[in-house]
Chains A and B, each alone.
Chain A
Amino acid sequence: MNIQIIAFFVLGLLAVATGILLVTRRNPVSAAVSLIMHFFALAGLYLTLQAQFIAAVQILVYAGAIMVLVVFVIMLLNLGKEDALKERFNPRTALAIALSSALALEVLLAFLSTPTGFNEIAPSAEKIGSPAEIGNVLFSGYIFPFEAISLLLLAAVLGSIILAKRKIED
């Protein structure tokens, strides 16, 4: 009963619970806050996998930048609670829940029936999760996608400015 087992079950339960909260909340701000807690749970799960850099970047980028942007947009649009399509039991929602439970069950059976044979984290996992090794691999083997990502981010910045800009009437 070491810390990895306890942390996995606690954080996994927290991630699933906040995920279900996100999908069921009517108020978009409540959904955003539950998604932030979901991202923190996932960062903890990355730490159980010795991926220190990815955990830190997860909190910085997802919880710290993307969710702030989402909350900002929610506040800007001044959205209230999402009104339900019908007050009663919606057959489309029931069908979605039934089909997604079937998919989850099928995928779980596929994963948990045959053991993969990997039961321990590789001993090199602590090294490859450290920022030094990530930097080594990123700037030696993956330098081309790294430069391409900078172009992509430039295009995204320009695109979002153009899309969100108020038209100036001349």
Chain B
Amino acid sequence: MNITSIPLEFYLALSAIIFVIGAAGVITRRNAIIIFMCIEMMLNAVNLTLVAFSAYLGDSAGQMFVFFVMAVAAAEAAVGLAIVLALFRSRQTVYVDEVNLMKW
């Protein structure tokens, strides 16, 4: 198949598979923390795409983007888990289908 090296589209395909697995996890799971972990997996799939493009095109903008995506993901982790903690404290549940007070 491939003689010398991996073509770029293999990395893009792997990233797409990881992204779709994360998206399926976000839709399917009920536990808020596991949904959060699936979101982190989706962010990592996008990071892989960016780094692959940066390596194959010789442009460092992709890795700069990844740097900032990681920083934003860390900030989002702190705030999101604080929200889950506050939610658990007031509702005693982390299942997102039981938090339906605003459902019409």
Q: Which residues of A contact B (CB under 8 A)?
A: 2, 4-5, 8, 12, 15-16, 19-20, 22-23, 28, 31-32, 35, 38-39, 42, 45-46, 48-51, 53-54, 57-58, 61-62, 65-66, 69-70, 73-74, 76-77, 79, 82, 85, 92-93, 96-97, 100-101, 103-104, 107-108, 111-112, 115-116, 118-125, 128-129, 133-134, 137-138, 141-142, 145, 149, 152-153, 155-157, 159-161, 163-164, 166
Contacts and interface: CB of A to CB of B under 8 A. Distances in A.
Contacts of B12: 111
Nearest to A92: B28
B71 A58 contact: no
Given A57-B67, A108-B13, A116-B8, A73 B41 contact: no
B24 A100 contact: yes
Contact of B16 (A2, A74, A108, A116): A108
B22 to A, nearest CB: 7
10 contacts: A15-B18, A49-B51, A51-B55, A57-B70, A70-B36, A96-B27, A121-B5, A125-B56, A159-B78, A160-B78
Interface string B14-25: 101110111111
A112 B11 contact: no
A4 B51 contact: no
A74 to B, nearest CB: 6
A119 B67 contact: no
A58 B63 CA distance: 12
A118 B16 contact: no
A134 B66 CA distance: 11
Q: Which 9 A-B pairs have the closest CB atoms?
A: A122-B58, A156-B75, A23-B25, A163-B82, A160-B82, A100-B24, A49-B55, A164-B82, A104-B20
A8 B28 contact: no
A28 B67 contact: no
